[in-house]
Structure 1
């Protein structure tokens, strides 16, 4: 990955917030308030999250018009999903249309990234899962986007509350157990890809052990395999199912990290990693990683005792 100038995350956000405010000066959105305007009492200006998410919407909608490949479908769906979510919390169609109209064409990708990062930092909790998923989607969109997201990246730290990381760790442990079966039973042509899956999940597990302050006391001794894995086709299906359920599990963490937005950003990184692995196994890229219809999401493998299925 090419080297880029280091800029602290906080400095980048502060600078970008000023620029985004200038772009969207006319958008007096009141995301968290429903109070009517009163005579002689000035209404507040848009919050940093409002400015950021409006800017992100404008950028997504603008880029969607000239997108190619998978993005030709994904970007319009992401823009429409964000628009619908913002309208659901009180942002008017006029504000959204203004944001779209005042977005440069083509929009600078760096500004879109900063807008999403700032939105994730300050948005209401109701928008946190969608915004976190959009961050993960942006991270995995292209090599260029991945490089831009690395600018000013901060080292992971301890979470203010480790509890929300525990379900993510449990999901990763289940996925890693399934991945060892995929390695043992995969066709020779898929063996390297399967091993890469194990390596990536092992790295996620190591980080999540620290984030959750886990002592291993609740770790399952094994899991029951809930689908066949004898033929190459079945093993590939197992890999895909495992990674689809992992992205869904990671996305569920967003609703529990409202008080720690640095942790929310790390969850976006976990979600991006899982989505990248899933794409390598042929899982179609969704508009919002991890936020597919929960009715279709497969259950995680059930923990068992020492006599569980082994590779």
Structure 2
């Protein structure tokens, strides 16, 4: 038998190793596997790419978890109902970030537990506040921490949400609803307490940046319809109720003006009247009509959120206006017996 001897060059060990590594990289890349950001750097293996708006989303999640743990503000009735809403919001946002590949180690602390009772002293630092590096020598560790006001808690959410317009379009409706809930809570706290946190209404300049103003038309129609029904309900209620509802109508009229300003020439002309869904001859029927009108208006905003927030060109305008608009509606709905939810319009 004749020996066969290769006359070609023998591959070096370095070349063999590089080839094997290349094969592994190709397999990992083909399967979509990426290392987490804190993993040891391996040559040629891709690291994780941050998702759109990740830094702002992490800040919002931290604000929600802080809000879920914050003690009740005893001066505001709605405060006792907010912790479960924030816990739900934090859970949804946490899961959304994990599903999009954000490592658990980069997220704020685990899903918050239910808020403690007002009688328990809990030290919770807002996400936007940095505690002193070195405590004062005169400070006593036994001094209880004063509960944060509702304006501070909800205001931290509003502030954190200002950078979330960079998030992907699929997340924006949920984010807008979360921010609307915070705006509604500040509204329900009353003008004096809400003034502690800057939550301005949409200015005319902010409403003029719509690439497709016609997307506001369904909202204009919905707000006008709700206003008409509330006018009828107020007219057929007792004097004390009518005075309160007239103030509610003023808020809806202001909202209509902002929407019309944003829509510009696309805004539809007002209708003279509408058909009532049922007879309204008693105060009870009037109250039912008002509640139905605001329930329908909430639903109209929820249905519009995906369309409003889809174009990237409008993201800044949407986040500057829609949370305030929807928050106004959610606060009015709460005043008419429709409980504030974690995701107004979407729940």
Quick one: structure 1 residues 215 and 82, their matched pair in 2 at CA, closer, same or farther if it must change by over 3 Å? closer
Matched, 1:148 2:152: no
Rg larger in 1 or in 2? 2
User: Which residue of 54, 61, 65 maps to 1:61?
Assistant: 65
Residue aligning to 1:16? none
Is 1:96 aligned with 2:147? no
- How far residue 118 of structure 1 moved from its aligned partner, in angstroms, is 0.8
What is the alpha-carbon distance in structure 2 between the residues aligned to residue 42 and residue 146 of structure 1?
48
Alignment of 1:100-139 (within 5 A): 105-107=124-126, 108=128, 109=153, 112-119=157-164, 121-139=165-183
Structure 2 residue corresponding to 1:36, chosen from 8, 18, 33: 33
Q: Does 1:253 align with 2:304?
A: yes
Q: Which of the residues 217, 223, 230 maps onto 1:166?
A: 217
Instruction: Report the CA distance between 1:181 and its aligned residue.
Output: 0.5
Q: Does 1:50 align with 2:54?
A: yes
> What SS does structure 2 have at the residue aligned with 1:140?
helix
Contact conserved, 2:207 with 2:259, CA < 8 A, in 1? Answer: no
| Structure 1 range deviating more: 121-130 or 146-155 | 146-155
Aligned partners of 1:277 and 1:48: how far apart in 2?
A: 33
Alpha carbons 1:139, 1:146 under 8 Å: kept: no
Note if 1:288 corresponds to 2:343: yes
Q: Which runs of no fewer than 5 residues in structure 2 stay unpaired?
A: 1-30, 36-42, 73-79, 113-122, 129-152
Are the structure 2 counterparts of residues 192 and 152 from structure 1 closer, same or farther at C-alpha, using a change threshold of 3 Å? closer
CA change 1:167–1:129 in 2 (3 A) is: same
CA distance in 1, matches of 2:286, 2:268: 30
Distance 1:89 1:288 in 2: 21
Unaligned runs of 5+ in 1: 1-33, 293-311
From 207, 213, 216, give the equivalent of 1:157.
207
Query: What's the CA shift string for 1:57-111, capped at 9, x where partnerless?
Result: 222123312443112322212222322333444444444355879xx93214565
Match of 1:81 among 92, 95, 100: 92
1:187 partnered with 2:232: no
Contact 1:54 1:99 in 2 (8 A): no
- What is the number of residues matched between the two proteins? 256
Residues 168-224 of structure 1 deviation map (CA, whole Å, 9 limit, x = unaligned)? 111111111112101211122211111112211111112212212246656544322
Question: Could you state the TM-score of these two structures normalised by the residue count of structure 1?
Answer: 0.72
Report if aligned partners of 2:87, 2:111 keep a CA contact under 8 Å in 1: no
**Contact residue 129 and residue 254 of structure 1 kept, 8 A:** yes
Task: Tell me the TM-score normalised to structure 2 length.
Answer: 0.65
Greater alpha carbon shift after TM alignment, 213-222 vs 238-247: 213-222
